[in-house]
Amino acid sequence: MLIQKLRLQHGWSQEQLAELSGLSPRTIQRLERGQTASPESLKALASVFEIEFSRLKESAMTTAPSTSDSRSDEALAFARVRKIKEFYVNLALYVLIIGALAIANLVTSPGYWWVVWPAAGWGIGIVAHGLRVFDQLPFLNGQWERREVEKLLGRKL
């Protein structure tokens, strides 16, 4: 519960916290549901949140951590740039592979454009990936999660 509260106070999604801490998103999900964490996982999270290791074992938090720390902002910026880079790599692969398939389509069966099916299927995935990377979906991000939790609680985190 404390891990989720810290994450939401920073406005991070589970995926962002996973990237910053070096843990898997699945591990973050399990820890937020209250499952036991290994000392290594707690140390990684304590480092990301810049709090004492022992504080993550506490069940209640008395003061909110500072969100203005430049190292956290830099780590988030690096994580975001990595996601953008990954998107562009996937887009380049899409163009190259669909281009090669289009050439193969022209050579093998110019009367039937079967290449449109893999292009459309993969293209939908590329568009969805781009919308997520560039935060064009107003839901499914850390800021949205924080607002919803605050609305349900009737107070700020």
| pLDDT at residue 65 in the model | 43
| pLDDT at residue 96 in the model | 98
Give the amino acid at 143.
Answer: Q
Helix (H) or strand (E) holding 77: helix 70-108
How far is 8 from 143, CA to CA, in rounded Å?
A: 8
| pLDDT at residue 74 in the model | 64
Per-residue burial over 88-120, b = 16 or more CB atoms within 10 Å of its CB, e = otherwise: eebeeebeeebeebeeebeeeeeeeeebeeebe
- Structural domain boundaries of the chain? 2-57, 70-153
How far is 46 from 54, CA to CA, in rounded Å?
A: 9
The CATH fold assigned to 2-57 is 434 Repressor (Amino-terminal Domain) (1.10.260)
How big is the CA angle at 37 (ends 139 and 69), to the nearest 5 degrees?
Answer: 55
Q: How would you write the pLDDT of the chain (157 residues) with one tens digit per residue?
A: 588 888 888 989 889 999 999 999 999 988 888 888 888 999 999 999 988 888 877 633 333 444 445 556 666 777 788 889 999 999 999 999 999 999 999 999 999 999 999 999 999 999 999 998 888 877 767 778 888 888 998 988 7
User: What pTM was computed for the model?
Assistant: 0.53
